[in-house]
């Protein structure tokens, strides 16, 4: 009798978990649809990757909003016929970036990953200089939580996409195979105005890698190695969030991981031709405008071309055709305004 009861309970439990799984699949899908449809959205970029052909991206730039404004993929295609994409969003978390890159690797095989490091270094909330090992413990707990959350969202992104639940329409509830929208910007976020910097940067206290930045950078590196991708750490030019301390921190990290580190804030004149803070920033030094982004793209172009290990893929006609059209549309829009 006891055994029968236990078996019934186990069956009940499995049935319940099945229902939960089905509902999770359904809602993940619904939210994915909505995510694609809405024109804003933190997770939009990862969805838009689905509008690109499989294995058609050679260069991936990932980071927070800084990276979004510093790189123009359309230009890289126009000049050198290299396909690239920018993945980024404001207040990016290292774990988020890691899992998004992992998702992208499912359908794409980029040869170079440029990881823009602004999001992983910042001011630590150290109260007692880690006298009680509070930071270590917090970091560990956060890591486990990020891993759990990241892995669950990887399969069932309900919690990741739920913010878009607000703008739902009824049609979303019944779409099974969402179609990704094409994006001619390839992740680039346009800023047109010019605002020269006026304030001097306030020095931050307790600067360090934050939010388990090191662990996740290492994981991203391992992911890249598994996928024959070369990871390069870059620091996009910015006045608001760059300090020499941060430069040294990332330099140490790059040496630890054995990866290249290119800091565009050091020797900026040599690395980026004609760059000037008076003309190239949209908001006083945090984000670049189109002029600045174009110049940085040139610098990145040189970086890629000078890399011995890189050789761009030869693509099918359909991919070339798509990129030509997208690039044309992009420049037409830029010139039109």
Partner 1 sequence: MEITTLVFLAFVGVSCLVYYIVPKKIQWCVLLVASLLFFVFSSALLTIYMLITTGITYAGALIIQKNRDLFVIKKKELPKEERKSYKQKSKKRQKILVAIFSVSVIAILVALKYCNFLGDIVNSVAGMFALNKLIPEFNILLPLGISYYTLMSVSYIVDVHRGLIVAERNPFRVLLFVSYFPHIVEGPFDRYKDLDKQFRTPHKFDYEKFTGSIVLIMFGLYKKLVIADRIGFVLSDYFDNVTENSMLGLSIVTVLYTFQLYMDFSGCIDIVSGVSELFGVRVAQNFRQPFFSKSINEFWRRWHITLGLWLKEYVFYPITLSGHFKKVNQFVRKHTKNKTLSTFVPAAYSLFFVWFCNGLWHGASIKFILYGLYYYVLMMIGQLLTPLFNFIKNKLHIKNGRIFRSFQILRTFFIVNIGMLLFKSATVSDFLGYLSSALFNLKGSDLAWAIPGNFDLIIILIGLLLVSVVGVIKEKGINIIQVLNTKIFIIKWIAILFLLFSVLLTGAFGVEYGEMAAIYAQF
Interaction site with partner 1 (CB under 8 A): 9, 12, 16, 19-20, 23, 27, 31, 42, 91, 93, 127-128, 131-134, 136-137, 140-141, 144-145, 148-149, 152, 158-160, 162-163, 165-166
> For partner 1, which is the closer residue by CB, 134 or 228?
134
Provide the greatest CA pair distance for the chain. Answer: 83
Q: Which is nearer to partner 1, 216 or 290 (CB)?
A: 216
Q: Which is nearer to partner 1, 167 or 260 (CB)?
A: 167
Q: Shortest Cβ distance from residue 182 to partner 1 (Å)?
A: 26
As beta bridge partners, residue 88 has: 63
Nearer to partner 1, 5 or 200 (CB): 5
Nearer to partner 1, 127 or 196 (CB): 127
Inter-CA distances, 46 with 73, 99, 169, 204, Å:
16, 10, 21, 32
Three-state DSSP class for residue 337 = coil
DSSP three-state, residue 182: coil
Give percent helix, percent strand, percent coil of the chain, each to the nearest 5: 50, 10, 40
What burial letters (b/e) apply to 2-37, b meaning 16+ CB within 10 Å?
eeeeeeeeeeeeeeeeeeeeeeeeebbbbbbbbbbb
> Closest distance between partner 1 and the C-beta of residue 45, in Å?
14
* CA distance linking residue 24 with residue 135, whole number of Å: 34
CB of 58 to partner 1, least distance (A): 30
Tell me the closest approach of the beta carbon of residue 164 to partner 1, in angstroms. 10
Dihedral class, residue 161 (left if φ above 0, else alpha if ψ from -120 to 50, else beta): alpha
The nearest distance, CB 135 to partner 1, in angstroms, is 8
CB of 215 to partner 1, least distance (A): 15
User: Can you tell me which residue has the tokens 């990953």?
Assistant: 113
211: left (phi over 0), alpha (psi -120 to 50) or beta: left
Euclidean distance between the first and final Cα of the chain, in Å?
A: 78
- In the complex with partner 1, which residue's Cβ is closer, 42 or 78? 42
* Closer CB to partner 1, 156 or 185, in the complex: 156
Least spacing, CB of residue 250 vs partner 1, in Å: 23
Q: In sequence order, what are the residues at sequence separation of 6 or more whose Cβ sits closer than 8 angstroms to the Cβ of residue 119?
A: 63, 64, 66, 91, 92, 93, 94, 97, 213
Closest contact distance (angstroms) between CB of 33 and partner 1 is 14
Q: How far apart are CA 274 and CA 93, in angstroms?
A: 32
- 13 or 248: CB nearest partner 1: 13
Query: β-strands 84-88, 207-209: how paired?
Result: unpaired
Q: Which is nearer to partner 1, 19 or 196 (CB)?
A: 19
Q: Which two tokens stand for residue 215?
A: 């662990």
């Amino acid at each position: 009798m006891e055994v029968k009861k236990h078996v019934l309970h186990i069956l009940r439990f499995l049935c319940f978990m099945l229902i939960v799984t089905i509902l999770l699949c359904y809602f993940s899908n619904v939210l994915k649809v909505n995510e694609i449809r809405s024109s804003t959205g933190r997770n939009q970029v990862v969805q838009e990757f689905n509008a690109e052909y499989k294995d058609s991206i050679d260069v991936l730039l990932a980071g927070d909003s800084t990276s979004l404004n510093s790189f123009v993929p359309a230009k890289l295609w126009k000049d050198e016929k290299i396909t690239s994409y920018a993945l980024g969003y404001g207040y990016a978390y290292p774990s988020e970036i890691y899992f998004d890159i992992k998702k992208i690797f499912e359908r794409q095989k980029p040869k170079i990953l440029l990881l823009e490091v602004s999001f992983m270094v910042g001011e630590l909330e150290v109260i007692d200089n880690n006298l009680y090992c509070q930071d270590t413990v917090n970091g560990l707990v956060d890591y486990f939580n990020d891993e759990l959350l990241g892995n669950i969202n990887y399969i069932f992104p309900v919690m990741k996409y739920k913010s878009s639940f607000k703008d739902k329409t009824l049609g979303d509830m019944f779409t099974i195979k969402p179609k990704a929208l094409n994006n001619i910007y390839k992740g680039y976020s346009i800023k047109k105005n010019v605002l020269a910097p006026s304030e001097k940067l306030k020095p931050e206290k307790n600067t360090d890698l934050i939010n388990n930045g090191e662990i996740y950078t290492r994981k991203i590196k391992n992911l890249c190695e598994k996928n024959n991708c070369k990871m390069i750490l870059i620091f996009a030019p910015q006045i608001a969030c760059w300090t020499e301390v941060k430069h040294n921190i990332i330099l140490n990290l790059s040496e630890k991981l054995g990866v290249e580190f290119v800091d565009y804030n050091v020797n900026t004149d040599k690395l980026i031709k004609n760059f000037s803070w008076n003309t190239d920033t949209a908001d006083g030094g945090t984000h670049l405008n189109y002029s600045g982004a174009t110049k940085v793209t040139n610098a990145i172009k040189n970086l890629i071309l000078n890399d011995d290990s890189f050789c761009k893929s030869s693509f099918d006609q359909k991919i070339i055709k798509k990129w030509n059209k997208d690039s044309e549309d992009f420049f037409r829009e830029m010139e039109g305004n």
